[in-house]
Amino acid sequence: MNTRITEIQSDIAGLKQLLAATDYQALKHADGALSDEEYEPIRLERQELRNKINALEWELENVKTATSNFQDI
């Protein structure tokens, strides 16, 4: 398997673990146990993690497509 593909998949997995680590706070906020002000830094962190995951998933698809096209030659 392409080394870059493995690196991207590993990065995505790590970011998803970080996102999962804040799930409890998101649930507390949804239940009203955490105020908007208390949750705001966590919300911003979660959004940044999702943005990074989305960018890496986009890159992963492009690398897979490029690799597939290269193998077809």
Cβ burial of 28 (10 Å; 0-12, 13-18, 19+) is middle
Report pLDDT for 58: 98
Contact between 57 and 12 under an 8 Å Cβ cutoff? The reply is yes
- The position carrying tokens 């392409």 is 2
**For the chain, domain boundaries:** 3-64
- What does pLDDT average to over the chain? 94
- 55-70 pLDDT, tens digit per residue, is 999 999 999 998 877 6
The tokens for 41 are: 């830094």
Contact between 18 and 38 under an 8 Å Cβ cutoff? The reply is no
Report pLDDT for 71: 66
Give which of 59, 72, 73 is closest to 4, Cα–Cα. 59
- Residues 23-51 have a mean pLDDT of 98
Angle at which helix 36-72 crosses helix 23-30, to 10 degrees, equals 130
